[in-house]
Amino acid sequence: MKTIVVAGWIVYAGVYFGFAAARTSIAPWILLPIYGLYQALTEGVTKALVSDVVPKDQRAGAIGLFYTVAGLGQFAASLIGDFCGPDSCSVCTSHLSSARSAHWQPFR
């Protein structure tokens, strides 16, 4: 499971770096399907990972908490993007995702 999640995060980092570096109007048409690959690699696996580490009677709440925290992070990122600009936000997202992929060790 860990390998799939890390692969998804690497794809995510590459896509966001691509958004920051792209200067053509065709770039979103290329990068968005690749972003879909990130979603396909990580969506179900992260739910399964969360489900595996909490007691059975707390799974729904844990998955809800996971998506609440993810949504709050996305909201914060959109606010930061308003102040710093989309290129800075994309580069920062790419670097953070790369660092997360390199150092992630789930629930030892």
The type of residue at 89 is C
More confident call, 41 vs 98: 41
Across the chain, what does the average pLDDT equal?
Answer: 80
Give the confidence band of 105 by pLDDT, cuts at 50, 70, 90: low
- pTM of the shown model: 0.65
Residue range 65-74: average pLDDT? 83
User: What pLDDT score was predicted for residue 49?
Assistant: 85
Secondary structure (DSSP) of 56-93: GGGHHHHHHHHHHHHHHHHHHHHHHHHHH-HHHHHHHH
> Which pLDDT value is given to residue 101?
57
- Residue 10: name the closest of 44, 30, 33, 35 by CA: 35
